[in-house]
């Protein structure tokens, strides 16, 4: 039986709540000015709403959201993001990993855990890296969102998560599950040093040795498929999706979500990709259909 996984990322929920002056006495001031000058014209709630309405018609089995729900980590943003997540589904049906905007300041991740924690923990309540088993899938959540200096958006998984990651991959392989790694920052990117995943090489080395069937990410606001080295000569597709709220007026054919149709078992997995996005006329259309894995 086919299991359908939907993937959204970089929600950047609009509108931005009005900040208090004292909340801007840190890195948030640069993000706030950027929002006022540019980003508020890109990230639009109606765009996001149109995508979600279309997604709801697909009757998917699970939804993954790979970060950047917030914009500048204002305390008022996190309950608004939680309310939006609840429109997608329950914590059982929606899995979230945070992005760099969710961790914009040191308080950010604590607020995210406080408000979205039920969406960001494993089946036995564990934090990152966590595992959620859904049908034939094992969703493995990694956190790459860390506070950074102004004008930087780098990510880091860190030694603790990377130490636990191989054991999870091996155990889930033994269980015969289709392993889906969720992380905000891409392991392969051309976005530049100020936005990169600083320990991407360590992540790729782990995957090359221990394997996974699929990696999903956001961050670059681009449609991306990169093939990572895996064990036994079987490459691992790393698939990025564009921001789910990017306006079709300022960024034609950009805002999108992906559907992954997965069936099979163990070494005979099949995985198809369908990309659906908002066109300039406001309709949500299929843009791409491809086989990422077939027996």
Q: Could you read off the pLDDT of 137-173 as tens digits, one per residue?
A: 999 999 999 999 999 999 999 999 999 999 999 999 9
Residues of the chain with pLDDT under 70: 251-253, 295
Q: Is the peptide bond before 129 cis (omega within 30 degrees of 0)?
A: yes
What was the pLDDT predicted at 147? Answer: 96
What was the pLDDT predicted at 295? Answer: 60
What was the pLDDT predicted at 225? Answer: 97
Residue 224 to residues 216, 258, 293, Cα–Cα distance (Å): 10, 11, 16
Give me the number of domains the chain comprises: 1
Residue 220: partners with Cβ closer than 8 Å, 6 or more residues away: 186, 189, 190, 191, 195, 240
Residue 281: give its domain's CATH number.
3.60.21.10
Q: Is the peptide bond before 15 cis (omega within 30 degrees of 0)?
A: yes
Q: Could you read off the pLDDT of 28-66 as tens digits, one per residue?
A: 999 999 999 999 999 999 999 999 999 999 999 999 999
Residue 11 near residue 69 (C-beta atoms within 8 A): yes
Range of the domain at 244: 3-293
What was the pLDDT predicted at 223? Answer: 93
Smallest Cα–Cα separation from 95: which of 127, 128, 141? 141
Residue 218 near residue 233 (C-beta atoms within 8 A): no
What was the pLDDT predicted at 252? Answer: 64
As to burial, measured by CB atoms within 10 angstroms (0-12 exposed, 13-18 middle, 19+ buried), residue 25 is exposed
What was the pLDDT predicted at 266? Answer: 75
What was the pLDDT predicted at 1? Answer: 86
What was the pLDDT predicted at 65? Answer: 98
């Amino acid at each position: 039986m086919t299991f359908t996984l939907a993937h959204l990322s970089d929600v950047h929920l609009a509108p931005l709540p009005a900040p208090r002056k004292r909340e801007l006495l840190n890195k948030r001031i640069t993000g706030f000015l950027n929002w006022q000058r540019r980003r508020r014209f890109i990230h639009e709630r109606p765009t996001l709403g149109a995508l979600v309405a279309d997604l709801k018609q697909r009757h998917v089995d699970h939804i993954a959201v790979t970060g950047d729900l917030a914009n500048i980590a204002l305390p008022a943003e996190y309950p608004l993001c939680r309310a939006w997540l609840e429109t997608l589904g329950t914590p059982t049906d929606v899995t979230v990993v945070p992005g760099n905007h969710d961790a914009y300041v040191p308080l950010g991740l604590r607020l995210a855990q406080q408000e979205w924690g039920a969406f960001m923990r494993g089946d036995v309540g564990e934090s990152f890296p966590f595992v959620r088993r859904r049908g034939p899938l094992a969703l493995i959540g990694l956190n790459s969102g860390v506070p950074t200096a102004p004008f930087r958006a780098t990510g880091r998984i860190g030694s603790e998560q990377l130490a636990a990651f191989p054991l999870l991959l091996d155990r889930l392989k033994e269980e015969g599950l289709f392993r889906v790694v969720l992380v905000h920052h891409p392991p392969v990117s051309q976005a530049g040093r100020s936005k990169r995943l600083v320990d991407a090489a360590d992540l790729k080395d782990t995957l090359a040795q221990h394997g996974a069937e699929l990696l999903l990410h956001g961050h670059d606001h681009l449609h991306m498929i990169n093939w990572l080295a895996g064990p036994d000569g079987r490459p691992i597709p790393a698939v990025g999706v564009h921001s789910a709220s990017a306006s079709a007026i300022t960024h034609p054919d950009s805002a999108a979500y992906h559907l992954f149709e997965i069936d099979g078992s163990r070494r005979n997995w099949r995985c198809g990709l369908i990309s659906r996005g908002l066109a300039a006329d406001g309709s949500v259309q299929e843009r791409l259909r491809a086989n990422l894995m077939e027996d």
